[in-house]
């Protein structure tokens, strides 16, 4: 039950934004809703602690996303969560289509997202889902604008590759 202006403002922010935060975090986690919920809970608790300062600066969303992205990268880097796939030989690379194919299912896309390194996935989500600028994304990910551009371009190319019919058939039969 809210009992101070901090509580009231924070509650209003949570009520308005929480569902969207969890949905967007699901993209970072490639569909892992439990991990997405954990990340958002962590970020919101820390936002509450920093609320007066963050509120004054008007940077609530950026603060939450910075925590979500960094917490996710930390989580994925934990040895117990590493799920690298080893293949016996480098697959042939067919010529990449310019567009993504039609008729894809959600699970296929999430599998492809899961195959991206977490930083690359974060760059795609921040740039293309949250519509942040290159500068904002770089600031949030604590990297250079050049890194954001290259990560986003590589991610798009990798997704096209993974979702092209020939590769998809081999990877997700």
Partner 1 sequence: MTDIKDLLELALKDVPAGGRYAGPAEDLTRGRRLLRRRRQRMAGLAGVTAAVLCGILVPLSLNGSAPAAGHPVAAATSSPVPSPSKAVSTPTDAAHAIKLVAWVGTQPPGYKVDWMPKGWVVQGSDPYALVMASPATKDKDPTVFIGKLVVMLQSADASAPPANWADQPVNGRPGKFDVQGDTQILIFKAAGGQWVDIQAPVSLGWDRAELAKFGGGVTVLGAAQAGRG
Positions touching partner 1 (CB under 8 A) are: 1-4, 6-7, 10-11, 14-15, 18-19, 22-23, 26-27, 30-31, 33, 37, 41, 44-49, 51, 98-102, 104-107, 109-110, 113, 124-125, 128-129, 156, 159, 163
Residue 80: DSSP 8-state: G
Q: Select 9 or 80, whichever has its Cβ closest to partner 1.
A: 9
Q: Select 34 or 86, whichever has its Cβ closest to partner 1.
A: 34
Q: Using CA atoms, how far apart are residues 107 and 116, in angstroms rounded to an integer?
A: 15
Q: What is the residue whose two structure tokens read 């820390």? A: 46
Q: Select 90 or 141, whichever has its Cβ closest to partner 1.
A: 141
The residue length of the chain stands at: 173
Residue 60 CA: distances (Å) to CA of 50, 97, 113: 9, 39, 27
Q: Select 90 or 96, whichever has its Cβ closest to partner 1.
A: 96
Minimum CB–partner distance for residue 89 and partner 1 (Å) = 28
Minimum CB–partner distance for residue 101 and partner 1 (Å) = 7
Minimum CB–partner distance for residue 53 and partner 1 (Å) = 13
Minimum CB–partner distance for residue 26 and partner 1 (Å) = 5
Per DSSP, the three-state class of 100 is coil
- Can you read off the two tokens belonging to residue 153? 């371009």
Minimum CB–partner distance for residue 110 and partner 1 (Å) = 5
Per DSSP, the three-state class of 57 is helix
Q: Select 89 or 131, whichever has its Cβ closest to partner 1.
A: 131
Nearest-10 Cα torsion for 19, 147, 117, 131: 20
Task: Give residues with Cβ within 8 angstroms of 146, minimum separation 6.
Answer: none
């Amino acid at each position: 039950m809210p009992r101070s202006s901090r509580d009231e403002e924070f509650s209003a922010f949570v009520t308005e934004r929480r569902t969207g935060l969890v949905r967007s975090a699901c993209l970072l986690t490639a569909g892992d809703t439990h991990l997405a919920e954990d990340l958002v809970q962590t970020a919101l608790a820390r936002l509450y602690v920093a609320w007066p300062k963050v509120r004054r600066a008007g940077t609530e969303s950026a603060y939450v996303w910075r925590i979500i992205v960094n917490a996710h990268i930390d989580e994925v880097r934990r040895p117990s969560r590493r799920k690298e796939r080893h293949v016996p030989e480098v697959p042939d690379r067919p010529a990449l289509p310019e567009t993504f194919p039609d008729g894809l299912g959600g699970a296929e896309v999430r599998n492809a997202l899961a195959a991206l390194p977490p930083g690359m996935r974060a760059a795609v989500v921040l740039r293309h889902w949250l519509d942040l600028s290159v500068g904002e994304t770089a600031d949030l990910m604590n990297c250079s604008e050049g890194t954001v551009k290259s990560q986003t371009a590589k991610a798009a190319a990798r997704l096209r590759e993974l979702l092209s019919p020939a590769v998809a058939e081999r990877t997700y039969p």
